[in-house]
Structure formats: structure tokens, C-alpha cells
Amino acid sequence: MPLDADRAWEMDAVLTGAELRALIDAVYPIEELPREPSATARVFRFSDGRGEIGFIDPVSDPFCSDCNRIRLTAEGKLRTCLFSLHETDLREPLRAGAGDDELERIVREAVWRKELKHHVGEAGFRQPARSMSAIGG
């Protein structure tokens, strides 16, 4: 995903999940298992019964439509998407003495504005300033 610190990620260099699966399937046949709601990974089992393998393909096979994840950074910023360009500050209200009701209101408002999808690969896409390791991804 284009969340790398050195911003060297390029769509042209992406090997898609489908391409990877085809390479594996040609040697070790795999079969897809039912997907759990909001799961990030598509899980396949090897047809010989010797294990499973999961693929997380957020760019080539997005799963944003049922994403239920939000993240809290180490300094108290709530992020509603890995690709959020804005964050909701919880530290300041906490330090100002906000109670549970007020914090709940802030979190609910942020979640109502949760992104419907990422826009990787679309015209105008802007990579967030923080790298994956700073987001808690």
C-alpha cells in the first residue's frame, strides 16, 4: 500500500493478489474459504489439506465496503482510515477533563465521517503524511 515512509510505492510495481494466487495455485492448488464479515484477509486452503494461506489485497481487491476499523495513535489521535487525511484529537479533550459522554460524542462524530473507501490509484489520490508504522496499521 502507498503508506511507505520513502514514498517509493508505485502502482506499476504491484503484483496483485490474483496474480500471486495464480502462481501458487499452479503448483499447490488452493480453494477459497468463506470470508468473515469485515475480515481483511481472503483465506484459502491448500487442496491437499496441508494448511491455509491468507491474502490481504487492499489495493487490487479492496474490502473497504464493510471495513469497521478505526485506529488510535500513540499521541491520542483517532484515525478512521489508514488513508485518512484528517485525525480527531482525543488527547486534548481528555486532558481538559472531558467525561465519557463527551468522548463518546467525539468518537461517534468521527465514525460518522469514516471514509467509504480509499482512493489509491485514482486521480487526485493523496498519500497521508504518516507511514504505516506511525498509524498503528
**Positions that interact with ligand SF4 (CB under 6 A):** 58, 63-64, 67, 69, 81-83, 115, 117-118
Taking the complex as a whole, how short is the minimal distance between the CB of residue 72 and ligand SF4, in angstroms? 13
Taking the complex as a whole, how short is the minimal distance between the CB of residue 105 and ligand SF4, in angstroms? 22
Decide whether 81 or 110 has the Cβ nearer to ligand SF4.
81
Decide whether 7 or 69 has the Cβ nearer to ligand SF4.
69
Decide whether 45 or 114 has the Cβ nearer to ligand SF4.
114
With a CB cutoff of 8 Å and minimum separation 6, the contacts of 134 are: 73
Taking the complex as a whole, how short is the minimal distance between the CB of residue 118 and ligand SF4, in angstroms? 4
Q: Grid cell 491520542 — which residue?
A: 76
Decide whether 30 or 128 has the Cβ nearer to ligand SF4.
128
Cβ atoms of residues 116 and 64 within 8 Å:
yes
Taking the complex as a whole, how short is the minimal distance between the CB of residue 91 and ligand SF4, in angstroms? 21
Using DSSP, state whether 11 is helix, strand or coil. Answer: helix
Which of 81, 89, 74, 73 minimizes the C-alpha distance to 113? 81
Using DSSP, state whether 38 is helix, strand or coil. Answer: coil
* Structure-block grid coordinates of residue 119: 482512493
Decide whether 51 or 136 has the Cβ nearer to ligand SF4.
136
Q: 3-state SS of the chain: helix, strand, coil percent to 5?
A: 30, 15, 60
Taking the complex as a whole, how short is the minimal distance between the CB of residue 62 and ligand SF4, in angstroms? 6
